[in-house]
């Protein structure tokens, strides 16, 4: 099935560092979502974006809906050990319907 | 407010058998979507149910079928299990009637086919 191009695949960072990851598509999306998944758990919604150019924050997390509507970015500032996990981007073409996911970015944080 | 729940947590089946997975949607949500997540991959859309009708389907064969009940809970049925069906099965609920709101996921059911 189709998946979005998400990068990087994995990151090893020091506690306190900032993190950036992104997601691209060859198709236009109307909605971009960012989820975090811990081992053995379902994905947890972090941020939802609905307008091209939109910049939305949730605590130390900031995400942007790309102007071309074909990409999105997630930044985490001042990382802490509990940020460890796999981050997924997901896009939706219409105003409703299924989500298309990236393969995930695995984040490891060294204390 | 009750979140999305799924049962069972883990399941081991033999190739050729049939399996039924269950999902209770979040309070106030009337749309349920099912996803398959293979190891190391992102979730893949199976199908969505709204008002007890299938409302969209991904690239999965007919042996994957589902139901939604009047209380918005849902079942995923898989017949003639294959080894490649081993995966985490995720249920997500949303409230806009046609999946337009954000989708909230349950913890998943880990299915192993031997």
A5 interface with B at CB cutoff 8 Å: no
Range list of β-strands (E), B51-113: 53-57, 64-68, 74-78, 87-94, 104-105, 109-113
Does B81 score more than 80 pLDDT? yes
Region B66-86 average pLDDT: 96
Region A43-69 average pLDDT: 96
A103 interface with B at CB cutoff 8 Å: yes
Q: What's chain A's average pLDDT?
A: 93
* Torsion sign, CA atoms A13, A78, A55, B30: positive
Which among A41, A48, A103 is the nearest to B42, CB-wise? A103
Does A95 score more than 80 pLDDT? no
Region B70-89 average pLDDT: 97
Does B22 score more than 90 pLDDT? yes
Distance separating alpha carbons of residues A72 and A74, to the nearest angstrom:
7
């Amino acid at each position: 099935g189709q998946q979005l191009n998400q990068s990087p695949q994995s990151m090893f960072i020091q506690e306190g560092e900032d993190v950036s990851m992104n997601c691209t598509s060859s198709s236009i999306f109307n909605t971009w979502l960012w989820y975090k998944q811990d081992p053995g758990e379902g994905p947890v919604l972090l941020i939802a974006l609905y307008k091209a150019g939109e910049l939305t924050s949730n605590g130390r997390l900031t995400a942007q809906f790309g102007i071309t509507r074909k990409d999105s970015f997630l930044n985490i500032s001042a990382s802490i050990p509990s940020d460890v996990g796999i981050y997924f981007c997901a896009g939706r073409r219409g105003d409703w319907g299924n989500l298309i996911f990236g393969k995930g970015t695995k984040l490891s944080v060294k204390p | 407010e009750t979140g999305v729940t799924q049962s069972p947590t883990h399941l081991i089946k033999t190739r050729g058998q049939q399996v039924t997975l269950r999902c209770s949607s979040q309070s106030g949500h009337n749309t349920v979507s099912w996803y398959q997540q293979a190891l190391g991959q992102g979730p893949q859309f199976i199908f969505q149910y709204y008002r007890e009708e299938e409302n969209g389907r991904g690239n999965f064969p007919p042996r994957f079928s589902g139901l939604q009940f009047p209380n918005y809970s849902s079942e995923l049925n898989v017949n003639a299990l294959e080894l490649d069906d081993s995966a985490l099965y995720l249920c997500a609920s949303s409230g806009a009637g046609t999946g337009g709101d954000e989708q909230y996921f349950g913890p998943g059911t880990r299915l192993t086919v031997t």
